[in-house]
Structure 1
Amino acid sequence: MTSSKPKILVTRRLPASIEARMATLFETDVNDADLALSGEDILAGLEGKDVLVSTITDHIDAALIGRLPPSVRLIAQFGNGVDNIDLDAAWAAGLTVTNTPSVLTEDTADMATALMLALPRRLVEGTQMLLRDRAWAGWSPTSMLGHRLRGKALGIVGMGRIGTAVASRARAFGLNIHYYSRNRRPPAIEQPLEARYWDDLDAMLAEVDIVSLHTPLTRDTHHILSAARLDRMKPGAYLINVSRPELLEESALIERLESGQLAGAALDVFENRPGINPRLLALAEANRVVLTAHMASATLEARVEMGEAVIVNIRTFMDGHQPPHRLLPDGPLPRAAKG
């Protein structure tokens, strides 16, 4: 007898509890190898399926969307970002696309704050020094001098949920909060944080000591921190990016770190994924950059909540209703999506 359960392809391994729950609700095919699938592998795995459960490592461009089996009606992204999906092409093909927003706020804000502490206080460098030099001589008044956070100015680019959560944590450390955002936040948010709004990003960059990127990636925010804008930053300033690599002109950042124009950077995302620019690795070895392995949202709690959101999106869609986390293209809508 043919199963009446929705048939789904899951392109990467998910937490065991989520995979078990999916297996009870859906006819589930999971990529047990847990390696990024090629476009051809995705197409082959989707034969007869209703739903593609994708992740940021899946390149779902217009060409692949044009070849999807007709049975596929929903792309349920496991993740907040959907830079890997051509939303315009998906909409034009009559597909519904969903993501898992909101669940990553606290964990991502924690990570940004941790990097904000690690960078000026040289925490990674101090750890590496002990591991490298087993005969460490001990404390010295002039050893491992970093910089105090209290009293410094933090400039947040993008004051949405995550940006606001970062501001709240940073304020507790005594940082002065500045922010640039498409829209000014209401007094109920600004006043407790004593946050100053800037409608001119260039002007804000010239005044702050630390810049932290938290704006979504759109056509307008691609390389929002361009070479010209990096030059607007104060000499000796720091940069934090746990958001999207495309927000930053990475090659320009590398040049300004190598020259000493900027004091340092902490990056959780990289422009030439999955590899990392060798010059960035050299800067990390020279303790000019802190690099982490795209782990801002990497908590078990977040991954389980993301999986639950995927399940809700699938079940709602397959029951004939609009899923709660449906996404629309950035530009004009070509035509209505089916489902």
Structure 2
Amino acid sequence: MPQRKPHVVSLGAPNYAGEEYINDFTKEFDFSILDASNRQEAIDRLPALLSNNGPADAFIIRMGTPPYEPFDFFSPLLPTCKIMASASAGYNEFDIDWMSKNGIIFCNSVDAVAEATADMAIFLLLAVLRNTTKAEKSVREGKWRTTPGLSPAKDPTGMTLGIVGLGAIGKYLAKKAAVFNLKIRYYSRHQLPKEEEAEYNATYCTSLHALLSSSDIVSINCPLNAETTNLISKEEFAAMKDGAFLINTARGAIIDEAALKQALEGGKVARAGLDVLCNEPNVDPWFFDREDVVLQPHLGGLTDVAFQKAERECFENIRAFFKTGKANSPVNGDKVA
């Protein structure tokens, strides 16, 4: 560890962590802000910042990554940077292998956006059951309740919610879903301990298809990686109940969109609630006119409280790393020497 105060660089100003919090952090760390609003500005300005303020030991990426993508401009941080902390829960936009090879620990946000994202999943769940896209269109067109298919709506009581990935977000979702008298099933890489299953009243399914075939509503809450890309495709839709409901607040590419289109057109999926899509923000316009789809522009974790928690998680990961040698939520901790 450096004898000087570690130098931490933030990509843009952390506007939500709080002035008092930042002031306390800077008692232990030198802190610089890379004033860049997009990728090209970051590329142009990072070398000058390091030249003026000294080499960076840590780097923070705040919420709202699209303007900076692709993240291929970190080379000037080498060889001194030892940790990067992202305010996002997902990390598919980062080259984790490159970081591991260069001795950089990468951390994501574990809990900051979890509850807010679960709230979005609940919103979409109720929206698809109540057919709100068609209902709102009916009101705006002056038809009130005369549009066919609005009544009676589906009631969540007694239905089964299948959660794909019972991590931080999935656990919040399970807890909130219980309020609506939903039965909870889940599928994850590893089964939770029995006491945790009891806490969330969740029943483990030994396979993804077992979950899909026994759920009235399926919610995607797993991270996007090589194993989960197109995790839900033709065979998975075939395994679902006829007229199932699908919620995705994770990443668009977890669902094979071509297969989803077929499932919606054929009625296998009655309605879908999507906060995420492929190729954001240039998504397939096919979804725009569908009355059986509730759309949101990837807003799940974008709340004021989540922003504050996310920024502070970044700082706390860095604080823990330089105090103890271990970050709080390393993604690649077992791959960095």
The residue number in structure 1 matching 2:247 is: 240
Cα displacement string for residues 247-276 of structure 1 (whole angstroms, at most 9, x for unaligned residues): 211222123213333111111111112222
- 1:127 matched to 2:142? The reply is no
The residue number in structure 2 matching 1:301 is: 305
- Shift, 1:195, TM fit: 3.0
Cα displacement string for residues 129-181 of structure 1 (whole angstroms, at most 9, x for unaligned residues): 32342xx5678998543211112121111122321221222222122222112
Partner AA of 2:258 in structure 1: S
Other structure's SS at 1:275 match: coil
Match of 2:194 among 184, 187, 194: 187
- Shift, 1:19, TM fit: 6.8
TM-score calculated relative to the size of structure 2 = 0.83
- 1:152 matched to 2:159? The reply is yes
* Range with bigger deviation, 293-302 or 183-192: 183-192
TM-score calculated relative to the size of structure 1 = 0.82
Report sequence identity in percent: 28
- 1:46 matched to 2:33? The reply is no
Partner AA of 1:226 in structure 2: S
Partner AA of 2:304 in structure 1: L
- Shift, 1:224, TM fit: 1.6
* Range with bigger deviation, 23-32 or 215-224: 23-32
Match of 1:196 among 177, 194, 203: 203
Other structure's SS at 2:129 match: helix
Other structure's SS at 1:179 match: strand
Contact 2:134 2:292 in 1 (8 A): no
* Range with bigger deviation, 313-322 or 248-257: 313-322
Partner AA of 1:216 in structure 2: P
Cα displacement string for residues 88-113 of structure 1 (whole angstroms, at most 9, x for unaligned residues): 11010122222221222222222211
Structure 2 spans left out of the alignment, 5+ residues: none
CA distance in 2, matches of 1:312, 1:227: 42
Contact 1:9 1:45 in 2 (8 A): no
- Shift, 1:244, TM fit: 1.9
Cα displacement string for residues 54-95 of structure 1 (whole angstroms, at most 9, x for unaligned residues): 25434466x645565544443221222211111111010122
Cα displacement string for residues 1-27 of structure 1 (whole angstroms, at most 9, x for unaligned residues): xxx765544335543554775477243
In the TM superposition, 1:55-70 aligns within 5 A as: 55=62, 56-57=65-66, 58-59=68-69, 64-66=73-75, 68-70=77-79
CA distance in 2, matches of 1:16, 1:158: 29
Contact 2:108 2:329 in 1 (8 A): yes
Other structure's SS at 1:46 match: helix
The residue number in structure 1 matching 2:105 is: 96
CA distance in 1, matches of 2:145, 2:276: 35
The residue number in structure 2 matching 1:254 is: 261
CA distance in 2, matches of 1:127, 1:268: 18
Partner AA of 2:107 in structure 1: T
Contact 1:60 1:86 in 2 (8 A): no
Contact 2:86 2:109 in 1 (8 A): yes
Structure 1 spans left out of the alignment, 5+ residues: none
- Shift, 1:279, TM fit: 0.8
The residue number in structure 2 matching 1:312 is: 316
The residue number in structure 1 matching 2:86 is: 77
- Shift, 1:219, TM fit: 2.8
Other structure's SS at 1:110 match: helix
Cα RMSD, aligned residues only? 2.9
Contact 1:9 1:46 in 2 (8 A): no
CA distance in 2, matches of 1:175, 1:320: 42
Contact 1:223 1:248 in 2 (8 A): yes
* Range with bigger deviation, 23-32 or 92-101: 23-32
- Shift, 1:199, TM fit: 0.6
Contact 1:122 1:144 in 2 (8 A): no
**Matched pairs, number:** 320
The residue number in structure 2 matching 1:273 is: 280
- 1:118 matched to 2:122? The reply is no
Cα displacement string for residues 296-316 of structure 1 (whole angstroms, at most 9, x for unaligned residues): 112211111111111222334
Change (3 A) 1:291 1:188: same
CA distance in 2, matches of 1:215, 1:129: 34
Cα displacement string for residues 305-334 of structure 1 (whole angstroms, at most 9, x for unaligned residues): 1111112223344557332222217xx83x
CA distance in 1, matches of 2:289, 2:133: 15
CA distance in 1, matches of 2:169, 2:302: 15
CA distance in 1, matches of 2:255, 2:147: 38
* Range with bigger deviation, 161-170 or 89-98: 161-170
Change (3 A) 1:184 1:324: closer
